[in-house]
Amino acid sequence: MTTPPEPAPAPAPRPVPTPVPPSPAKDAAIATTAKPASTPPGVAKVAERPRPAPLPAPVRDTAHTAHVEAPAAPTSDDEYLQYDAATNTVTFKLVAGPFAFNGYTGGGATLTVPPRSTNIMNFEQADGTPHSAEIGSGTGQIPNSGGEPAIPRAYTNKVVEGLIQGAKDVIRFTAPDSGTYRIICGVPGHALSAMWIWYKVDPAAKTPSFGPTPK
C-alpha cells in the first residue's frame, strides 16, 4: 500500500509596508530644489511676455472744461433793425415766408422810421413759394398784386412774378415826411392772403422801431 505525499506548506504572508505620513517640510524642500523642465532640443525658447498693467480710469478735468452755453433766443424784434443817427439811415432786414414778413401777417407788425431817413431794406426770400415786397398805400383796399408802389423805388425786383427761394434783393429809397403805408407781397393774391405789415413814417420819431402793432 502506497502512502500519499504530504501537501507542501503554504507560503508565509508578505509583510505590508507601513505608509509614511507626508512631511510638509520635505515637500517644500523638493519644491524648492525642483528645476523647471528644459526646452526640447531644436525648439527656440520664447520669453514669456509680461502682462501690461491695466490702464487707469479716465479722470474728467472739470477745472479746465469749457462751459458752452446754448444761444439765447432773441428778446425783441430789434435784431432786424439798425440805425445810423449821423446819416439818418435805417437798415432793415425783411424776411419773406412762409406767407409772412418776419413772422408777422395781416398788419401784425409795424416798422416806424424817422422822416426823410434813408431806408435800406435787405430782402431775403425764405419760402418755397415765390415772394416779393413793395411799399403800397396804407389806405383803401389791400391790392391783389404789386406794381403800383406808393413810394418811388420802394419795391424788389420781379415784384409781380416773385423771387425764388434763397434769392436776395436790396430796396433803397428815401422816406417821405410822414404817412402810413403797407409792406405787401406783390405776387398776385399774396397780400390778400394777409402777407403784409405796416410801414409808418412818424415826424416825431427820433429813432426807428419794429415790433408788434399796438392794439
Assess if residue 44 is contained within a domain.
no
- For 191, phi then psi, to 5°, come to -65, -40
Whether 107 maps to a domain, the answer reads: yes
Which of the residue ranges 22-31, 91-100, 108-117, 163-172 would you say has the lowest mean pLDDT?
22-31
Is residue 42, in this structure, part of any structural domain at all?
A: no
The rounded mean pLDDT for the chain is 80
- Count of domains for the chain: 1
Report the pLDDT value the prediction gives residue 25, as an integer from 0 to 100: 52
Question: Which of 190 and 70 is assigned the larger pLDDT?
Answer: 190
Do the domain assignments include residue 5?
no
User: Strand 109-113 relative to strand 118-125: parallel, antiparallel, unpaired?
Assistant: unpaired
For residue 187, give every residue at least 6 positions away whose Cβ sits within 8 Å of its Cβ, in sequence order, or none.
129, 130, 131, 132, 145, 146, 160, 161, 162
Verdict on whether the full-model pTM lies above 0.95: no
Of 19 and 136, the one with more pLDDT:
136
The residue segments making up the domain with residue 120 are 78-208
Among residues 214, 213, 205, 184, the alpha carbon closest in space to that of 83 is found at 205
* CATH number for the domain harbouring residue 131: 2.60.40.420
Q: Does 52 reside within a domain?
A: no
* Cell numbers standing for residue 171: 430796396
Is residue 72 in a domain?
A: no
Classify residue 36: in a domain, yes or no.
Answer: no
* DSSP single-letter state for residue 99: S
Residue 30 domain-assigned (yes or no): no
pLDDT digits (tens, 9 = 90+) for 129-140: 999 999 999 999
What tens digit of pLDDT does each residue of 64-119 get? 333 333 333 333 456 899 999 999 999 999 999 999 999 999 999 999 999 999 99
